[in-house]
Structure 1
Amino acid sequence: MHHTSTARNELDHERGYVAGLYQRLDELRDEKRGQLAEVRRSLSAGSHQNRSERDAFATMYEDRLAQLNAVDDRLVFGRLDLDDGDERYIGRIGLSTEDLQQLMVDWRAPEAGTFYQATAFERMGVRRRRHLILSRRNVLAIEDDVLDAALLTEDESLQGEGALLAALNSKRTGQMSDIVGTIQAEQDRVIRAPLQGVVVVQGGPGTGKTAVALHRAAYLLYTHRERLKSAGVLLVGPTNAFMKYIERVLPSLGETGVVMASIGSLMPGITAIQEPTEEAAEIKGRLDMVEVLKRALANRQRVPDQDKRLNVEGTILTLSPRQVRKARDRARSTGKPHNEARVTFVKILLRELTEQLTEQLEESSGAGNTADRSYLAEDVRSSRDVRIALNLAWMPLTPEKFIAELLTKPGILAAAAPGFSDAEVGHLTRPAGALWTEADVALLDEAAELLGDLDPSAGRDTAARDQERRRDLANAERTLENVNESLADSGVDGVLTAEDLADHNSVTEARLNAAERASVDRTWAFGHIVVDEAQELSPMQWRVLMRRCPLKSFTIVGDIAQTSSAAGSNSWQQALEPFVGERWQLEELTVNYRTPAQIAEAAARMANAAGLVVSAPKAVREGRWAPIVDRVPELIPALLQALPEELSAVEGGLLAVIAPERLLAEVRSALTGVYGRRIGFGAGSMGQDIVVTSPREAKGLEFDGVVVLEPAEMLDPRSIRVGDLYVSMTRPTQRLRLIATGEIPAGIED
């Protein structure tokens, strides 16, 4: 009875303290709303400089208000009881009273590190670690980790049943939750790793790779805010469904300024679909495509076979192959991209044609004629024949036009890729008007680098460009303070200058923060890039990302065993060596927090039976069910019969039906006919508790239960890759069922 009373008192104490934290949060929100309203009322008055300053203040208040609004759910999650008697509360952001007395420590602060790192063997001054289990603003329960054995006899208020296992057993919602309250020591080590260099985080299914990547992005922005606030952080994932699944995590951790993009959306203005064939994806992903594009572009800088006769206001001029070749060679020697070098090419030939026209007119009018000939240059420039001849020799191009013509005309492609077989050219060739694919994005990005701006000087005079350049340099100088000190640690050769960064990060509108500017600027240089499911990236896609971060500061997260793309990597060495050599370090996550042991072991046996050695992280819990295997004569009737049992087993949780691409339409149609609006796609949602998806779309997601259809079709008979089936089998947190009309892959059944 006394223990129950003490426990209730402890719970009441925590509820009172947490209520005070929320009161302070509400006060800060009201303060920022008031400041924002005041700034908005004064925006239209004063000079341009004053308005710009007020714009900056408005943006600052808006960002802070967005942060305060995003952390409302489970604001605080922990308390440390220290040897010196102090109590330190840990939460999503730091909070202090008006007179700067600390109420709560931001989870990313150095003094919060012991919440994740302290153990009974290495207490780090911590006697007790308390987890606060909240639902919205209400403290539901407390869980205590005792690190000082003396507390076991001193304190009767100890309580709790396991915050981590409670989180693992909670129902999926279709949105990823943060793990800020349950980060484990090996995860925390990766999250708090130094900013410099390339960190590769290898982890099997369920080890929390994605959560670690997201929390690391939040940690780096907090710890290195001055370095990263101008350059920003880019987080790249495999699919749009995956990005939707994780979109709420960073705001809940107090960060709203990260640019999040799927690999197919890295080219502004392009919406990409999945590459239809594995053959095309693999070829487009090769680094050989860089030389193919360079050769194709050189072939567009043409020298005519014979003289061209050009009519300029009734006078016939001659453009010779020698003139075109000479102008082409001089333009190429500038080293500028195609469209910018074209300016040199055109100037040379226009000058020569104008001189030719002048000479002809002077000869025809006699030596004594001194009439003004200054208008002749404009006559040459505006001549239709001249414009056509110059464009045929050196056409201005957009990346879209250049790549579209290359991929729709086999003759052009074959000429640019002499080392490709007829079959490879055939795999790359597609009909005109085809949609852009994810593999095309890397080609478009490379083309944009080779082509440069379509009109480098359009609409801006020299003075305006110089003024903009000075502004860019000033911004870059501020961004690069202290950065060059760490370049040696990161292994970057040479020193990055303000000019280098300003070339990338030209300032657009003062109201836009770094994330907003970066999301629409292909040339933006980020301070750090986080890549999830990185094993799927092709060499050309890695090239795109390396271009986005000149400092080569990366967090790379993935599992080589889950590679399913033909263009993906078989090892981290293979993926990274062309770009950073040996300058990367490997961290491994070894504990599977998501997948029950019986399911994890079945997936590992299947992979091993197929000849692939996979990392098999240790599962932290046994599940209630071993994998269920159904051999059936007809697939759809068997699925409809099995689904009620699966829905009952997950008790209102999220159920995924994962099927090969060829079956998706049929399965969705059959299930929609029975379950209607409950059928969802991608990661699902609160209102759609049955998700029908492909192995690729399921990558990185998790569900309470999973039904895998025709598992043998998910194995690639051409290689030892088992990525699709391995991914599918390791998505569930509770229950797995496999239904097949054909063979069951070896190893699944023990």
Structure 2
Amino acid sequence: MTSTGISVTALDLDLDQDLATEREHLAISRAALGRMRERAEALFATGDQVAGDAYAAETLGRTLARRVAELADDPNTPLFFGRLDFGASADNPHSGAAADGRPGGGDDAYADHAGRRYHVGRRHVTDERGEPLVLDWRAPVSRSFYRASARDPQGVAVRRRFGFSNGALTSFEDEHLDRGEELGTASRILTAEIERPRVGPMRDIVATIQPEQDELVRADLADSICVQGAPGTGKTAVGLHRAAYLLYLHRERLRRSGVLIVGPNRAFLSYIAAVLPALGEVEVAQATVEDLAAGVPVRAVEDPVVATVKHDVRMAEVLRRAVAAHIGEPTEPIVVSDGSFRWRIGLEVLHRVVDETRREGLPYGTGRDRVRARVVGLLQRQAEARRAESPGDAWLRRMGRSKPVTAFLDAVWPALTPDGLVHRLLTERDRLAAAADGLLTAEEQALVSGTAGPTGTKLGRTPKATKWTAADAVLIDEAAGLMERPAGFGHVVIDEAQDLSPMQCRAVARRSEHGSITLLGDLAQGTAPWAAADWRESLRHLGKPGAVVVPLTVGFRVPAA
């Protein structure tokens, strides 16, 4: 046998041994994950015995149930997909500052990992001593799996990618970054994974995240971003993986405030539903805009001409005016008797209470409660001065429900419901004309109220008797937001956002007022009459005008032509 033949045979033996070692590590890691789940299940089964009270038991139970779900293992999904071998020394001839200013491979930032080996996978797996067998792809050191290159090795000597078939490890390939070797698009495993035919629900892309995608996935929680991308550029995957990354980095904060995925329809949400659970994230809310604006049942279909007017952002100001128009001025003093004394609040003081509350810009319902509380507070101070003691809670509640106080409230700050407000606006021509003055033309007002042109809403004598359309539901949600602020999410991902109307954007914005967003879409794919023409406009309606717009230009699942 020639020397060349001997060399190839020896190399084959080394590769076979290496593959066997990696398969053994996979088996050990799967067994360890099974033990982690068994421990979590045992804790879940006995959690109520160690909790101090019913509330603690319920909280602990939810936490342990979530932990059990997070540790689920799909044998057909690779537990790890890559490996990082850091050089024995921080010195690296190819090191240097990265393009974005991060340190290169020769920097002390990677010295702690010198000589270490890490398998990178979908979740963190440890052995019985707590030593990591698989590192979560979101861990800081895992960043080098996606970002390291021959030009900027980041301390990595060898990056290994694994090939799998139905969960079985079949192959691997190495890139010796310390020698300046990088496969890039020549990687068989990377190319095969990217081009694997799509069958069934959407899969995660943790094994194939590209550097430009990784930059977006690991963006800070405080940053709102808009990702513009044509089909096949991976924008949906970027949004979902960013949600998973933020949940990993800000676990407790986002567990309290929540993460919301907004999709164009239920079929789309069903298609992407398996991605986050595959990454160990099982508590993410999913909804369509119709789900968010579900204050009334939708029982009619609107003509696009009418719906376009209702979806216009001018309707937000029309509704704000309509709500504000219900606030009146006091016309007479309040006189209240508690059975022992008669208490009086003068007209001037009542004017001041209403004016101060109006200037505070509170939601309408909160403002009504504030006016009541201030009136009762004025009565309380009079009682304290007369009796030299503070009246009890029962007295305060009785005063707040007394007929004079209730009549005053109904006159200057009447109770409203969102559907009731919109119903009155659409059925009372004078009320609509006053709220829409200078905003909607007479023709547009006629379209909205259904008195001319194509129709959609079947207005009944009452809100419940009305057959509302999807556009009406968005108006009613806007009205609800003017009355009471809805609970917000810590982060919201909005996919296929090019077809969101300004009013739909505002519905989402109310759920993310104090959080950040990831906006995903393609302006070229807009189909609705109100489809976005400029992401800046959509971002303004979403309350995030400062968000950066980032294009993804590489199509991974479409032909080059």
State the TM bucket, normalised to the shorter chain: 0.7 to 0.9
Superposition pairs for residues 103-182 of structure 1, below 5 Å?
103-135=133-165, 137-149=167-179, 162-182=188-208
Q: Which of 440, 454, 477 lines up with 1:445 in the alignment?
A: 477
Counterpart AA for 1:446: E
Normalised TM-score (structure 2): 0.73
Give the distance between the partners of 2:180 and 2:319, measured in 1 at CA.
Answer: 70
Distance in 2, matches of 1:273 and 1:105, equals: 50
Q: Does 1:18 align with 2:38?
A: no
Amino acid at match of 1:82: F
Q: Quote the Cα distance in structure 2 between the aligned partners of 1:238 and 1:447.
A: 23
**CA distances 1:495-524 after superposition (whole Å, capped 9, x unpaired):** xxxxxxxxxxxxxxxxxxxxxxxxxxx722
Q: How much has 1:418 moved relative to structure 2?
A: 2.6
Is the CA contact (8 Å cut-off) linking 2:81 and 2:121 kept in structure 1?
yes
Pairs within 5 Å for 1:325-344:
331=354, 333-335=356-358, 336-342=362-368
Does 2:140 align with 1:96?
no
Aligned counterparts of 2:300 and 2:143: Cα–Cα separation in 1: 41
CA distance in 1, matches of 2:555, 2:506: 32
Alignment partners' CA distance in 2, 1:23 and 1:4: 29
Q: Which of 496, 502, 505 is 1:539 aligned to?
A: 502
Corresponding position: 1:69 with 2:72: yes
Change (3 A) 1:581 1:40: closer
Aligned to 1:683: none
Report 1:599-638 matches (<5 A).
none
Name the residue aligned to 2:516.
553
Gaps of 5+ in 2: 1-7, 89-114, 333-346, 377-394, 450-456, 460-464
The one of 63, 81, 84 equivalent to 1:80 is 84
* Equivalence for 1:32: 40
Displacement of 1:592:
0.4
Q: Secondary structure at the match of 2:119?
A: strand
2:63 to 60, 64, 89: 60
- In structure 2, relative to structure 1, the CA distance for the partners of 1:341 and 1:260 (3 Å cut) is same
1:221 to 235, 247, 251: 247
1:173 deviation in Å?
Answer: 2.8
Contact 2:365 2:483 in 1 (8 A): yes
Query: Is contact 2:433-2:445 (8 Å) kept?
Result: yes
- Cα deviation, residue 580, structure 1: 5.6
Contact 2:368 2:409 in 1 (8 A): no
| 2:215 partner SS | helix
Distance in 2 (CA, whole Å) between partners of 1:546 and 1:258 is 18
Is 1:416 the equivalent of 2:435?
yes
Deviation at 1:32, TM superposition (A): 0.7
Q: What is aligned with 1:523? A: 486
Which whole-Å deviations, capped at 9, do the CAs of 1:224-254 have from their partners, x for residues lacking one?
A: 2243332222222222222111111111112
Q: Secondary structure at the match of 1:586?
A: strand
Provide the rounded CA distance (Å) in 1 between the counterparts of 2:493 and 2:531. 17
Render the CA deviation track for 1:183-233: whole Å, top value 9, x for unaligned. Answer: 111101111122223222222221100100010111111122243332222
Q: Distance in 1 between matches of 2:428 and 2:267?
A: 33
Q: Give the direction of change, closer, same or farther, for the CA distance of 1:408–1:134 in structure 2 (3 Å limit).
A: farther
CA contact (8 A) 2:243 2:493 kept: yes
Q: Kindly indicate whether residue 458 of structure 2 is the aligned counterpart of residue 431 of structure 1.
A: yes
Q: Which residue of structure 1 aligns with residue 417 of structure 2?
A: 398
Change (3 A) 1:434 1:83: farther
Identify which range, 581-590 or 287-296, moves more after superposition: 581-590
Amino acid at match of 1:63: R
Contact 2:309 2:444 in 1 (8 A): yes
Q: Is contact 2:311-2:471 (8 Å) kept?
A: yes
In the TM superposition, residue 140 of structure 1 has moved relative to its aligned partner by 3.4
Q: State the Cα distance separating 1:136 from its structure 2 match.
A: 5.0
SS class of match (2:71): helix
1:592-612 per-residue CA deviation (whole Å, 9 max, x = no partner) reads 0122234xxxxxxxxxxxxxx
- Structure 1 Cα separation of the partners of residues 160 and 297 of structure 2: 46
Residues of 2 paired with 1:269 and 1:392: CA distance? 26
- Give the Cα separation in 1 of the matches to 2:14 and 2:62: 48
Q: How far off is 1:66 after superposition?
A: 0.8
Distance 1:34 1:269 in 2: 42
Change (3 A) 1:348 1:75: closer
Distance 2:200 2:244 in 1: 22
AA matched with 2:78: R
Give the count of matched residue pairs. Answer: 473
Separation (CA, whole Å) in 2 of partners of 1:280 and 1:179: 42
- 2:287 is matched with 261
- Residues 493-504 of structure 1: pairs in structure 2 closer than 5 A: none
Note if contact 1:332-1:341 (Cα within 8 Å) is conserved in structure 2: no
Aligned with 1:123: secondary structure?
A: coil
Compared with structure 1, are the counterparts of its residues 270 and 95 closer, same or farther at alpha carbon in structure 2 (3 Å cutoff)? farther
Give the match for residue 250 of structure 1. Answer: 276
CA deviations on 1:388-417 (whole Å, 9 max, x unpaired) are 998698652221232244345555434432
Counterpart residue type for residue 431 of structure 1: K
Q: Which amino acid counterpart does residue 556 of structure 2 have in structure 1?
A: Y
Mapped partners of 2:119, 2:252: distance in 1: 26
Alpha carbons of 1:137 and 1:24: their partners in 2 closer, same or farther (altered >3 Å)? farther
TM-score, normalization by structure 1: 0.56
Bigger drift between 263-272 and 396-405 goes to 263-272
> What is the root-mean-square deviation in Å for CA atoms of aligned residues?
3.9
Q: Report how far residue 345 of structure 1 moved.
A: 7.6
> Residues 529 and 150 of structure 1: is their aligned pair in 2 closer, same or farther, counting only changes over 3 Å?
closer
Residue equivalent to 1:594: 557
Aligned partners of 1:344 and 1:215: how far apart in 2?
43
**Are the aligned partners of 2:239 and 2:493 in contact in 1 as well (CA < 8 Å)?**
yes
Task: State the shift of 1:326 in Å.
Answer: 11
Go from structure 1 to structure 2 and tell me whether the alpha carbon gap of 1:139 and 1:412 turns closer, same or farther (over 3 Å shift). same
Partners of 2:467 and 2:525 lie apart in 1 by: 27
Change (3 A) 1:387 1:118: closer
> How far apart, CA to CA, are the structure 1 residues paired with 2:420 and 2:217?
42
CA 1:83 to 1:218, structure 2 compared with 1: closer, same or farther past 3 Å? Answer: same
Asked if the contact 1:71/1:251 (under 8 Å) is kept, the reply is no
Matches within 5 A, 1:33-52: 33-40=41-48, 50-52=53-55
- Alignment-derived partner of residue 293 in structure 1: 319
C-alpha spacing 1:540/1:269, structure 2 compared with 1 (3 Å): closer
| Paired AA for residue 172 in structure 2 | I
Could you say if the C-alpha distance between residues 274 and 558 of structure 1 is closer, same or farther in structure 2, counting changes exceeding 3 Å? farther
**d(CA) in 1 for partners of 2:237 and 2:27?**
28
Q: 1:42 to 1:109 in 2, by over 3 A?
A: closer
SS at match of 1:69: coil
**CA shift in 2, pair 1:133/1:404, >3 Å:** farther
Conservation of the 8 A alpha-carbon contact between 1:77 and 1:90? yes
Match of 1:584 among 539, 543, 547: 547
AA of the residue aligned to 1:444: I
Is the contact made by 1:71 and 1:254 (CA closer than 8 Å) also made in structure 2? Answer: no
